[in-house]
A and B are shown apart, each in its own frame.
Chain A
Amino acid sequence: MCTVCGCGDTENRGRPERHPRAHSHDHSHHSHDHSHDHSHDHSHGHAHHYGQTESGVTVAGFSQERLVQIEKSILSKNDGHAASNREWLAAHDLTALNLLSSPGAGKTTLLVETIRELAAILPVGVIEGDQETSNDADRILQSGASAIQINTGKGCHLDAHMIGHALGDLDVAPGGIVFVENVGNLVCPAMFDLGEHARVVILSVTEGEDKPIKYPDMFAAADLLLISKTDLLPYLDFSVAQAVEYARRVNPDVETIEVSAKQGVGMDSWIDWIMDRCVRTQPGRHTSGR
Chain B
Amino acid sequence: MHELALAREMIEIVQQYASEHGPGRVRNISIRLGELSAMSRALHFCFGAASRGTLCEGAVLHIEEIPLTVWCQGCNENKSPIGRYSFRCMDCGMPTPKIVTGKEMELVSIELSRTAEDRMKKPGMPARQRNESTHLLFQGV
Contacts and interface: CB of A to CB of B under 8 A. Distances in A.
B112 interface: yes
Given A46-B131, A51-B128, A68-B110, A250 B97 contact: yes
Given A61-B128, A74-B6, A66 B62 contact: no
A26 B30 CA distance: 22
Contact of B109 (A44, A57, A251): A57
Contact residue range for chain A? 35 or more
B18 A59 contact: no
Nearest to B118: A66
B13 A74 contact: yes
B59 interface: no
Given A49-B128, A249-B87, A249-B88, A75 B28 contact: no
A47 B95 contact: no
B87 to A, nearest CB: 4
A71 B8 CA distance: 17
Given A43-B101, A74-B6, A252-B95, A61 B129 contact: yes
A68 B59 CA distance: 14
A67 B113 CA distance: 9
Given A68-B111, A73-B106, A61 B13 contact: no
Nearest to A77: B9
A78 interface: yes
Interface residues of B, number: 49
Interface in B96-141: 97, 101, 105-114, 126-131, 134-135
A195 to B, nearest CB: 16
B128 A213 contact: no
B127 A70 contact: no
Interface of A: 26, 28, 34, 42-49, 51, 57, 59-63, 65-78, 154-157, 159, 187-188, 191-192, 213, 216-217, 220, 248-252
Interface of B: 1-2, 5-6, 9-10, 12-14, 16-18, 21, 24, 28, 30-32, 36, 62, 64, 66-67, 69, 80, 86-88, 95, 97, 101, 105-114, 126-131, 134-135
Q: What are the 7 tightest A-B residue pairs by CB atom distance, in nearest-first order? A: A61-B126, A188-B2, A66-B112, A249-B87, A156-B1, A74-B105, A61-B128
